[in-house]
Amino acid sequence: MSFRLYNTLTRSVEPFAPADGETVRMYTCGPTVYDPAHVGNFRTFLFNDLMRRALRLQGWKVVQVQNLTDVDDKIITRAAATGKTIIEVTEPITEIFHKDRRYLRIEDAEVYPKATTHIPEMVALVQTLLDKGVAYTAEDGSVYFGIDRFPAYGRLSRLDTREIRSGARVAQDDYSKENAQDFALWKAAKPEDEAASAAWDAPFGRGRPGWHLECSAMAMKYLGETLDIHGGGIDLVFPHHEDEIAQSEAATGKVFSRFWCHGEFLQIDGTKMSKRLGNITTVKDLRERGISAAALRHFVYSTHYRKQMNLSGEGLEASLEAVRRVGELAHRLETARGGTPELAVAAREGEAAFRAALSDDLNAPEAVAALFGFLQRANAELDRKGGDQEALAEARRVFLLMDGVLDISPRVTRVLVGPDTVEPALAAFTDLDEAERSGFAWGVERLQARLAARKARDFAAADAIRAEVEGRGFVVKDMPLGTQLERWR
């Protein structure tokens, strides 16, 4: 079965393979690092993660580049308000992004280029566009791309260029501004830019890059003049990706990207999640509520990437229960001593359904259904306690293959709390970050208080403490040697 993807450029699902038959060259738009990325942003990044894993499942190599926008109007405004440089604003936010990304098990891209470290490449691209006559310098010293000088402008967004007022210029990096006027490639330096260390010398005047310029320059530096896939959120189709196509293809005369793939919005109460509206939920918020990475991945992948979805407590609770079942199957397969011939049949049929779903425009809901169909059949066969080692090995292989793409099997951290001891020591959990260890330390302290309350026969207080701890996303289990504190990630 051929691998197929929806191409925004053609508005159709098309067979896909890398141009060289071997390596997929993929560019995905990353965050603007002036505030922590919200869960709506991470829905897009999880879609990118699913795509790279599914492409590798086909046997292809993947080289992914994801940019970090660390100079733009919002960042400069933040720098001015805080008396900092743009680097002082963006570096801590960049660290939070990578921390959140790792928590959600999003694989590392091969390259994370920053705009501020690729100024020479952007200057060279602007100069090329000036030399070719598709860009011009305005009276204020800024350089603009003339969209009427690029006849193909508007084909990605299906924009009717006849309605565009030629020569009306867009200078600001306003991500929500939906118009198609000449856009800034290079913005003449202002005092606030200089104060924030956001200005650079160029042959056409001191200034800084426009929002769209960085992606073209960095994509072509690392992946060549024609990409296999360019991805991002649906809100980037226009103007960002439309402008990328214009400046890249005007410079090279070649197709900039063969496929354009876009993920839909994550909403809260029917409204797109956005920093502008203030209805944001961050990864930190979810972690504090005890929502595991596995559960969020399951929640996101339960809806096709091209359909809008609504963030809800009920949906997250359902995903927590679903990944618990996945974790139980993982444990059963790990500890089983054998299987039945039908277990191998279930595994092979599950794998076929799983591969078919992902090959059909990354149909993650069908892939999740294939995993849970296998889960149900596997549990039934494991209940029979067969001794077939080959069947068990096949089931383990298929489970690892499926979870290697979806990555929704929870990771469990457990601490046994006794009256005077905690085993094993929290320091032994090297895979936990400081915040997670701090959370466990709090949980241990509360459970020790619960033990004291039970010893004093104050069972109402003990029950209240247990409810408090479980309200922070922990599982509390009373054991013969103490109380076990668990958190599933």
pLDDT tens string 304-318: 999 999 998 889 889
pLDDT tier for residue 480 given thresholds of 50, 70 and 90: confident
Torsion of Cα atoms, 40 then 42 then 44 then 45, to 10°: 170
d(C-alpha 133, C-alpha 471), whole Å: 63
Residue with the two structure tokens 């011939």: 341
In percent, the amount of the chain with pLDDT more than 70 equals 91
d(C-alpha 60, C-alpha 58), whole Å: 6
Kind of pairing, strands 143-145 and 182-188?
antiparallel
Residue 17 reports pLDDT greater than 90 = yes
Average pLDDT, the chain: 91
Question: What is the structure's pLDDT at 177?
Answer: 43
Torsion of Cα atoms, 90 then 92 then 97 then 98, to 10°: 120
Residue with the two structure tokens 């029950």: 463
What DSSP assignment string belongs to 67-111?
-BB--SHHHHHHHHHHT--HHHHHHHHHHHHHHHHHHTTPPPPSB
| Token pair in block for residue 121 | 């490449």
Comparing 279 with 338, the larger pLDDT belongs to 338
Maximum CA extent, the chain: 85
Question: What is the structure's pLDDT at 481?
Answer: 80
3-class DSSP state of 229: strand
Over residues 25-62, the pLDDT tens digits come to 999 999 999 999 999 999 999 999 999 999 999 999 99
| Token pair in block for residue 115 | 């705009």
Domain 19-272: which topology? Answer: Rossmann fold (3.40.50)
Over residues 22-31, the pLDDT tens digits come to 999 999 999 9
The distance of Cα 217 from the centroid of its chain, to the nearest Å, equals 22
Over residues 379-390, the pLDDT tens digits come to 999 999 999 999
The domain segmentation of the chain, as residue ranges, is: 19-272, 323-406, 412-488
Backbone angles phi, psi at 253, to 5 degrees: 75, 10
- Residue 237: how many other CB atoms lie within 10 Å: 18
293-309 burial: b if 16+ Cβ within 10 Å, else e: bbbbbbbbbbbbbbeeb
Residue 178 reports pLDDT greater than 50 = no
Residue 259 reports pLDDT greater than 60 = yes
d(C-alpha 273, C-alpha 280), whole Å: 6
Q: Interhelix angle for 434-455 vs 459-470, to 10°?
A: 160
Closest to 408 measured CA to CA, from 293, 282, 285? 293
Beta bridge partners of 348: none
Please enumerate in sequence order all residues whose Cβ is within 8 A of that of 460, keeping only pairs 6 or more positions apart, or say none.
Answer: none
d(C-alpha 408, C-alpha 157), whole Å: 34
Mean pLDDT to the nearest integer, 293-302: 96
Mean pLDDT to the nearest integer, 460-488: 88
pTM of the model: 0.89
Write the single-letter amino acid at 422: V
Closest to 330 measured CA to CA, from 285, 371, 301? 371
Please enumerate in sequence order all residues whose Cβ is within 8 A of that of 442, keeping only pairs 6 or more positions apart, or say none.
Answer: 472
131-135: long-range pairs with CB below 8 Å, 24+: 132/250, 132/251, 134/250, 135/185
C-alpha dist (Å) from residue 264 to 108, 231, 303, 309, 315 = 22, 12, 10, 8, 18
Kind of pairing, strands 227-233 and 207-209?
unpaired
pLDDT tier for residue 412 given thresholds of 50, 70 and 90: confident
The size of the chain, in residues, is: 489
- R_g of the chain computed on alpha carbons: 26
Closest to 192 measured CA to CA, from 61, 58, 30, 79? 79
Mean pLDDT to the nearest integer, 324-335: 94
Cβ proximity of 372 and 322 under 8 Å: yes
Q: Interhelix angle for 313-335 vs 389-406, to 10°?
A: 150
CATH number assigned to the domain covering 323-406: 1.20.120
Give the up-direction half-sphere exposure of residue 389: CA atoms within 13 A in the CB hemisphere: 0
Torsion of Cα atoms, 108 then 113 then 116 then 122, to 10°: -160
Q: Which of 1-15, 171-185, 396-410 has the lowest mean pLDDT?
A: 171-185
Over residues 76-135, the pLDDT tens digits come to 999 999 999 999 999 999 999 999 999 999 999 999 999 999 999 999 999 999 999 999
Question: Helices marked H in 384-433 — which ranges?
Answer: 389-406
